[in-house]
Copies of this chain bind each other. A is one copy, B any other.
């Protein structure tokens, strides 16, 4: 079966042109002008952009924090409705179990029949014993090309010390697995948290004060040094600040394979949001913490120049009412994280492309093309090319709306960007050739999403 999308402005990381995309089955088979008008379905995209489906390389559909768990893959249609057709999920290893086993048990139980977006997995080291590091060599055989460690979160099972980090790097290098790191100094955060709480400073705003930029800078420099000794690449997730970005850029300039992403919220919000009254600030409790407007500008410049190579969401769906309120008397009990997977395209388009901070080419690169490369998924995901999966978004630039949680599918009781204007609308989405969003409405089904194995050596 063939579908022809006609006369759209087809946007790639390199260029854009007005033309057609021809789909056969799950794949793109041609791009051109005046392609096969005899296709089974012909969709007119005149006046609209045709974008590759987004790849969000950083989402959490299984994260737990002090006993509370985020919304799962049953809400993954939110990603799709927002133009993101592939998500990459972090799965925390269970103690005493292999990382891949943890992942595929989770997959079977909670994902494979639920997923409405395509997905891939990051392993997460939580049990830093020798067998865990040995398992890294085997991960690519199971379609896992990335392994994450948390330098933050002292006392949590998923916290890693330098020993774990270094051992993971050494193992990962040989296997072509990319180590991803949440870089914050756990000890200093722990001391500052206790200090503020002991002083009665328990409001959400103290979350930001207990996690200053230097805790992120320190951990970033540390893992750069560890990676240099292990001769391994490293990917720094959710970079929040100009200084941290510069540490990454400087390492790259020294010839080291160090890379990083930022997230939509670090480009858009700042720590004043944590000071919102009536515990509203808790919605913005995430780690690392939100920074300053100057950092936002530095990050926009960084993504425009490729000093950071992707923009993800760190989507993390905790309810404000029932879950974030655990920390009403103590900010350290607020589950960290905020939802965002649904708004990545709309927000970046409105505040990045339409303000002139990034071009449409750069947007596509940051939203889809390079994340797919980072994850070893670029053989089938991330741009509009012949032979690629037919993951396509038709974006109507002329519609304007206001982001509101009422219209959201993410299953969380608040929206991180509530009240923000969005210019443009996702009107249609194809997932491997299947129309799953039409007229802006999700029309897909649970189980439409498929596991996409990541290939190793993505950053080498």
Provide the residues of chain B in CB contact with A35, threshold 8 Å.
30, 32
B385 A185 Cβ-Cβ under 8 A? no
A385 B163 Cβ-Cβ under 8 A? no
Provide the residues of chain B in CB contact with A281, threshold 8 Å.
none
Provide the residues of chain B in CB contact with A32, threshold 8 Å.
22, 28-32, 35, 386
With the chains together, A44 CA to B122 CA distance in Å?
42
B166 A187 Cβ-Cβ under 8 A? yes
A218 B226 Cβ-Cβ under 8 A? yes
- The closest CB in chain B to the CB of A227 belongs to B214
Contact with B along A194-230 (1 / 0, CB 8 A): 0000000000000000001011011001100110110
Stretch from A9-17, A59-67, A77-85, A435-443 forming part of the interface with B: A9-17
The answer to whether A450 has its CB under 8 Å from any CB of chain B is no
A229 B255 Cβ-Cβ under 8 A? no
The answer to whether A249 has its CB under 8 Å from any CB of chain B is yes
With the chains together, A86 CA to B243 CA distance in Å?
42
Residues 1-46 of A at the B interface (beta carbon under 8 Å): 10, 12-15, 17-19, 22, 28-35
A225 B163 Cβ-Cβ under 8 A? no
A187-B161 in contact given A13-B14, A32-B31, A369-B14 (Cβ < 8 Å) = yes
Contact with B along A245-262 (1 / 0, CB 8 A): 010010011010000000
B34 A29 Cβ-Cβ under 8 A? yes
The answer to whether A141 has its CB under 8 Å from any CB of chain B is no
A214 B191 Cβ-Cβ under 8 A? no
Tell me the minimal C-beta distance from A260 to chain B in angstroms: 15
With the chains together, A377 CA to B14 CA distance in Å?
13
With the chains together, A383 CA to B187 CA distance in Å?
42
A228 B214 Cβ-Cβ under 8 A? yes
Tell me the minimal C-beta distance from A148 to chain B in angstroms: 19
Copy number in this complex? 4
Contact of A188 among B17, B229, B385 (CB under 8 A): B229
B226 A19 Cβ-Cβ under 8 A? no
- The closest CB in chain B to the CB of A154 belongs to B163
The answer to whether A162 has its CB under 8 Å from any CB of chain B is yes
Provide the residues of chain B in CB contact with A327, threshold 8 Å.
none
Tell me the minimal C-beta distance from A14 to chain B in angstroms: 5
B387 A33 Cβ-Cβ under 8 A? yes
A14-B385 in contact given A32-B32, A33-B29, A226-B218 (Cβ < 8 Å) = yes
Provide the residues of chain B in CB contact with A186, threshold 8 Å.
162
Contact of A221 among B13, B33, B166, B225 (CB under 8 A): B225
The answer to whether A143 has its CB under 8 Å from any CB of chain B is no
Residues 294-318 of A at the B interface (beta carbon under 8 Å): 301, 305-307
Tell me the minimal C-beta distance from A153 to chain B in angstroms: 14
B17 A14 Cβ-Cβ under 8 A? no
With the chains together, A30 CA to B19 CA distance in Å?
9
A301 B369 Cβ-Cβ under 8 A? no
With the chains together, A18 CA to B29 CA distance in Å?
11
- The closest CB in chain B to the CB of A165 belongs to B187
The answer to whether A167 has its CB under 8 Å from any CB of chain B is yes
The answer to whether A423 has its CB under 8 Å from any CB of chain B is no
Contact of A17 among B163, B369, B387 (CB under 8 A): B387
- The closest CB in chain B to the CB of A162 belongs to B187
With the chains together, A167 CA to B228 CA distance in Å?
29
With the chains together, A225 CA to B241 CA distance in Å?
15
The answer to whether A118 has its CB under 8 Å from any CB of chain B is no
Tell me the minimal C-beta distance from A36 to chain B in angstroms: 9
Tell me the minimal C-beta distance from A377 to chain B in angstroms: 12
Tell me the minimal C-beta distance from A332 to chain B in angstroms: 16
The answer to whether A127 has its CB under 8 Å from any CB of chain B is no
- The closest CB in chain B to the CB of A250 belongs to B253
Contact of A301 among B28, B249, B255 (CB under 8 A): B255
- The closest CB in chain B to the CB of A383 belongs to B14
Which A-B residue pairs are the 3 nearest by beta carbons? A30-B32, A218-B225, A162-B187
Beyond A31-B32, A221-B225, 16 additional contacts (C-beta under 8 Å) are: A10-B386, A12-B385, A14-B385, A15-B378, A19-B387, A30-B35, A32-B32, A162-B186, A162-B187, A163-B187, A167-B191, A212-B229, A214-B228, A214-B229, A249-B253, A252-B305
